[in-house]
Structure 1
């Protein structure tokens, strides 16, 4: 079964171009396009998409609010935010709302299709500037918190690979373990770090490392 993608973008031309790009990616199919957050919130859950490409600046409800509402009903949904400018505050809010990555609209078609593939493969596309900003939010002031969770050596290795944006398969190949083992370690990691997904786990881990 192909990975199902929906697009939320109010510009007709951009929306059409993104739809063509999605359908050009092997194993992907655009199953719905929406010009407003309200339409996406109402219809997208019925389509059970794997990935949503979301414009941040939408009329009425923003893409950030749309992302938050969709994640409530579709917790496994991957959300790739789209933006014209590298607006760090907006991107930061998007990650907190449940987004897993972002890309600039001026990116080349190759960069956009690569971001789609990375997201569906479990990667976390974002720039270093945004990564630093989000990591800083996890850093307590002063010395390292002695209550930081104790991670096993293998869990630390998985998190280090995750922080590089590697997919589950790439982590498995890098550590010479199976993909199922990677998934099992991630489940343990999420519980220990009290997080709900890859992006939050990677960023929280990076914040912990920054205080050592």
Structure 2
């Protein structure tokens, strides 16, 4: 059964990476590469089936890429850029692992100014006395993103809770798509959580830090931009 599901999803997606002439006329963004088109098709077909095993298989065969998802070109105003947090340092500063994620979100926010942002993460380190989401919002505001453009989810303490608590915010805001921004070793699990949380109501795609979104390498990025 699992092999059949995986084959069926892959068959749907492979049409995005073959027949270049067709891609050129149907792609919402002529600059989109094969990985973007492949992920875009996955996110709007198999990955929207509200079944955990199907969602997991679909997420496993997606391509990790720093390039902006196609849904940001199709309807940026309806998309939400969701940045996943990490435990803050004891002094309240954003940890090193978060800097590339924030840089990727910053770059996407500049490229798609109509898209709103949600930072997510609760108080996982009691010493600083503030949430991961608040610290990330402050970082983005200091780097030029309008505060009114950023919503915060301040209760979650795990990736599953990130998705659980952000999902109602997406529905209340009538979001049409989700772009999850996090580290490469975290993204597949996060997309499974978010795709499960929205029950197929909207496409969920992911972005990792990298040169494709202007944030530098996933191992550190443009470190000179600093942290909070």
Q: Normalization by structure 2: what TM-score? A: 0.28
Higher normalized helix content (fraction of residues): 1
Which has the higher relative contact order, 1 or 2, with Cα contacts under 8 A spaced 6 or more apart? 2
